[in-house]
Amino acid sequence: MAAEIHPRPQTRKPVLLSKIEGFQDVVNTAVIIPKEDGVISVSQDRTIRVWLKRDSGQYWPSVFHTMPVACSCMSFNPETRRISVGLENGTVSEFVLSEDYNQMTPARTYQAHQGGVTVVLFVLEMEWVLSTGQDKSFTWHCSESGQQLGTYRTTAWVSGLQFDVETRHAFVGDHSGQVTILKLEQDNCSMVTTFKGHTGNVTALCWDPVQRVLFSGSSDHSIIMWDIGGRKGTAIELQGHNDKVQGLCYAPHTRQLISCGSDGGMVIWNMDVTRQETPEWLDSDSCQKCEQPFFWNFKQMWDSKKIGLRQHHCRKCGQAVCGKCSSKRSTIPLMGFEFEVRVCDSCHDSITDEERAPTATFHDSKHSIVHMQYEPTRGWLLTSGTDKIIKLWDMTPVVS
């Protein structure tokens, strides 16, 4: 008699809806058009394209416009149908789309930067166009007059930008790993504060105005959640990527964070749990468990006639320990460690199965992601990759 097979229940995962192909180079930015079956893309191949879904189910370009130089970034405002496109020659070009998305009319050009534009952001409430560039500057223009209102010099090339309309705070992330908060006025700005937690470039920023929390992603593979509104200086680390983080989006209705990376990973983080800060790493000349000297502690090595050991740190308690006293590995999801990390033996024994329960789900996009955008009304996610392909995903099975 054959054994009865009980199939394992399928784990919920994103559903690939469509692929958009035909680009000559990488798509640097693309957005889903809300309430339309459409996508707007700007590419390294110098094109701006508006893709509409046809009766065949395929996306075809209704607008195909070639710029004089490569398009590096883009901001789209659905209410005004205005596209602000950052170019590699430092200019920002604005266009207005027709109601049927079949025509695109040039509106204005801003001479914004001396180097390539890295991020552009149109703020309808202020009628401002914010932009950052490779020239280490942040500028903002009046979209009605075209006049430059102000500029701020940054310490490094800026790669992340978010804006809070209520407080007029701009969050600027740069290649040194630093995030700067600026208070913008009509014709000037002041630096509020800076904070740094990444060892690599800041590659993505995401601001949640309701919880007043800023998320930053980095080339060091990590994400940090900065509690701006709490005024306690809390910074929570999330470790779930094997390569640089390329995009972040927060879904406030479900309190989930979506992150995408160069490793092709799409990670859904449950932020509706009480998370813990990672401890500061302690300094010591000897193991804080067995007291064996570390290899630079010549005096203790000589006195005890023992060979110096290499120093490690427990990710849970932060103590300096030797390899023998930290031979075990564990996940610590509430501290953001979804992958197994080094912990000392006593911490390993203290971590319960409940504390090891994952707080994130991991999904493979099957391409190295350079950009992502989440459209919350339908629960769709757009990813563009180094393979020159745009993918559209239904995220409702996992963002719910």
CATH of the domain at 42: 2.130.10.10
Q: Confidence band (pLDDT; 50, 70, 90) for 274?
A: confident
Does some domain include residue 163?
yes
Are residues 211 and 187 both part of a single domain? Answer: yes
Are residues 246 and 310 both part of a single domain? Answer: no
Q: What is the SS3 assignment for the chain?
A: CCCCCCCCCCCCCCEEEEEECCCCCCEEEEEEECCCCEEEEEECCCEEEEEEECCCCCEEEEEEEECCCCEEEEEEECCCCEEEEEECCCEEEEEEECCCCCCEEEEEEEECCCCCEEEEEEECCCCEEEEEECCCEEEEEECCCCCEEEEEECCCCEEEEEEECCCCEEEEEECCCEEEEEEECCCCEEEEEEEECCCCCEEEEEEECCCCEEEEEECCCEEEEEECCCCCCCEEEEECCCCCEEEEEEECCCCEEEEEECCCEEEEEECCCCCCCCCCCCCCCECCCCCCEECCCHHHHHHHCCCCECCEECCCCCCEECCHHHCEEEEEHHHCEEEEEEECHHHHHHCCCCCCCCCEEEEECCCCEEEEEEECCCCEEEEEECCCCEEEEECCCCCC
Residue 58 CB contacts under 8 Å (≥ 6 apart), including other chains: 18
Are residues 253 and 382 both part of a single domain? Answer: yes
Does some domain include residue 192?
yes
Does some domain include residue 51?
yes
Are residues 83 and 195 both part of a single domain? Answer: yes
Q: Please give the pLDDT value at position 8.
A: 38
Are residues 222 and 351 both part of a single domain? Answer: no
**Mean pLDDT, to the nearest integer, of 151-176?**
94
Q: Please give the pLDDT value at position 355.
A: 86
**Mean pLDDT, to the nearest integer, of 337-354?**
89
Does some domain include residue 319?
yes
What mean pLDDT, rounded, does the chain reach? 90
Q: What is the tens place of the pLDDT at every residue in 120-147?
A: 999 999 999 999 999 999 999 999 999 9
Are residues 175 and 244 both part of a single domain? Answer: yes
Q: How many domains does the chain have?
A: 2
* C-beta of residue 76 within 8 angstroms of C-beta of residue 31: yes
Q: What are phi and psi of 313, to 5 degrees?
A: -135, 140
The pTM of this model reads 0.87
Are residues 147 and 192 both part of a single domain? Answer: yes
Tell whether the model's pLDDT for residue 300 goes beyond 70.
no
Are residues 135 and 183 both part of a single domain? Answer: yes
Q: What is the tens place of the pLDDT at every residue in 366-395?
A: 999 999 999 999 999 999 999 999 999 999
List the CATH number of the domain containing 323. Answer: 3.30.40.10
Q: What is the tens place of the pLDDT at every residue in 8-59?
A: 344 789 999 999 998 999 999 999 999 899 999 999 999 999 999 998 889 9
Are residues 100 and 226 both part of a single domain? Answer: yes
Does some domain include residue 282?
no
Residue 344 bridge partners (DSSP): none
Q: Please give the pLDDT value at position 293.
A: 77
Tell whether the model's pLDDT for residue 1 goes beyond 60.
no
Q: What is the tens place of the pLDDT at every residue in 351-373?
A: 888 888 888 999 999 999 999 99
The domain in which residue 306 lies consists of 298-356
Are residues 63 and 153 both part of a single domain? Answer: yes
Does some domain include residue 291?
no
Are residues 26 and 94 both part of a single domain? Answer: yes
Are residues 97 and 227 both part of a single domain? Answer: yes
